[in-house]
């Protein structure tokens, strides 16, 4: 049985799924010795704006700017349907300037 089927069969609530996600992220961080940052396209954006855009850089910057004091290694999982190459480059430059080790998780 797949992990997804297990979650479906358990009929977990939204809160239960969120707690499970936080548990899995903690376990990932423990195993990798890193800080996992997940950024997924917002379903609240208008459809043409779902891909990575400049506003996403500012959100990521705001969310991670204070983390550099406590975190040296970061793994970044970004899930979007593509978008601006310039924005992606700016995000990568920010990350490399603020964290000792930067890795990307690609699904």
For residues 22 and 42, membership in a common domain is answered with no
Total tally of structural domains belonging to the chain: 2
Write the pLDDT tens digit of every residue in 51-93: 888 888 999 999 998 776 778 999 999 888 788 889 999 999 9
| Burial class of residue 76, CB neighbours in 10 A (0-12, 13-18, 19+) | buried
37 and 57 share one domain: yes
Q: Is pLDDT larger for residue 69 or for residue 45?
A: 69
Pairing outcome for strands 73-79 and 101-105: parallel
Domain extent for 40: 33-107
pLDDT band at 45, cuts 50/70/90? low
Residues 47 and 60 in one domain: yes
What is the number of H-type helices and E-type strands within the chain? 4, 3
pLDDT computed for residue 23 by the predictor: 94
60 lies in the same domain as 93: yes
């Amino acid at each position: 049985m797949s992990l997804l089927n297990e979650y479906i069969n358990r009929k977990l609530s939204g809160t239960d799924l969120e707690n499970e996600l936080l548990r899995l992220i903690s376990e990932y961080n423990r195993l990798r010795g890193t800080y996992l940052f997940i950024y997924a396209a917002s379903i609240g954006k208008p459809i043409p704006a779902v891909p990575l855009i400049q506003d996403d850089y500012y959100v990521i910057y705001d969310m991670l700017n204070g983390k550099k004091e406590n975190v040296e290694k970061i793994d970044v999982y970004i899930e979007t349907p593509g978008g601006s190459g310039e924005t992606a480059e700016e995000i990568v430059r920010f990350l490399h300037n603020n964290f000792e080790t930067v890795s990307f998780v690609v699904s």
